[in-house]
Structure formats: C-alpha cells, structure tokens
A = this chain, B = another copy of it.
Amino acid sequence: MTLTSEGGSPRRTPRSEEPAVWRMLQRVQVRAARLLEADLLTAHDLALASYDVLTRLAETPDGRLRMNDLADQALLSRSGLTRLIDRLQRDGLVEREACTSDARGLYAVLTAAGRTRLAEATPTYLRSLRARFLGVLDDDELRQCATTLTKLLPPPP
C-alpha cells in the first residue's frame, strides 16, 4: 500500500469530513442498537443478538446453519456464538444437531418455539426500526444509503 495515487478506488489524501462521518456512524449505530434491543427486551425478552441469530436461521430453507457460518453472519467470535447458542438452546429456541457429512460440524437448528418467538418479535423489530431510526429517511435517501453502505461493506477484499 503506497502513498501515491496509483489508480484504484481507495483514496489516499485526508479529507476533513472523515472523522465526523465515522463519529456519526458510530453514534447512529450504537443508539439504534440500544433502542432496538430495549424494545425487543421489554416486549419479547429477546436480546438483539438473539433476534439476529434466529433471523439468520429462519432465512435458511431448512432453518439450520453451521455454527461457523452463523458466527460470521452474527458478527460474533466462535466462542461467543457457542455461548449464545447455549442460551437459546436452554430457552428451547434452537437445538444443536450433528452434521452427518463432517463429524466435527454442528448445526444450529431453529425449533418450532424459536420460529414462533421470532414471528412474535418481528413486528416489534420492524416497527422499532422504522419508528426510531430509519423512518426519517425518504425512499430515495434509503436507497442511496443502501448503495453507499454496500460500497463500504468488505472494503477491499
């Protein structure tokens, strides 16, 4: 990584707005996460990370995902996911199931109770998201936001 401007997308010259943008992004994310979690917690006794994991599982055709993949999607370390699945399993929302093709592997599987709980919580989640966070953006801004965030996602893999 040189300091000369040799083509490519990443800029090298400092721009004064960058720290401000980063600060705002942090604030917005932390604030939204706290509000969302508070709503989910009071209404459904469900932490945000738990809701996220249940959602990822539900998006899968058969409601199951390898622990490793789930950890990546949930932005959790492998040990972190182990504990989270422990809690969800204790609450009967998911189960662990052995992987036949790889004896090391485990699936986290959504239970019927898990599906029900997720279905109950989703309206709260969507409403909260809209009412306390993204509602202030019009459709254009929302789309703009989506494309910008997409660029930011895996910066230069």
Q: Mark A residues whose CB is within 8 Å of B.
A: 1, 9-12, 14-15, 17-22, 24-33, 75, 125-126, 129-139, 141-146, 148-153, 155-156
Contacts and interface: CB of A to CB of B under 8 A. Distances in A.
Contacts of A11: 130, 135, 137-138
A135 to B, nearest CB: 4
A1 B143 contact: no
| Secondary structure class of chain A's binding surface, majority of residues | helix
21 contacts: A9-B135, A14-B126, A14-B130, A17-B143, A17-B146, A18-B126, A18-B134, A22-B32, A22-B133, A24-B149, A24-B152, A24-B153, A25-B25, A26-B75, A30-B75, A135-B155, A136-B151, A136-B152, A141-B148, A144-B144, A148-B148
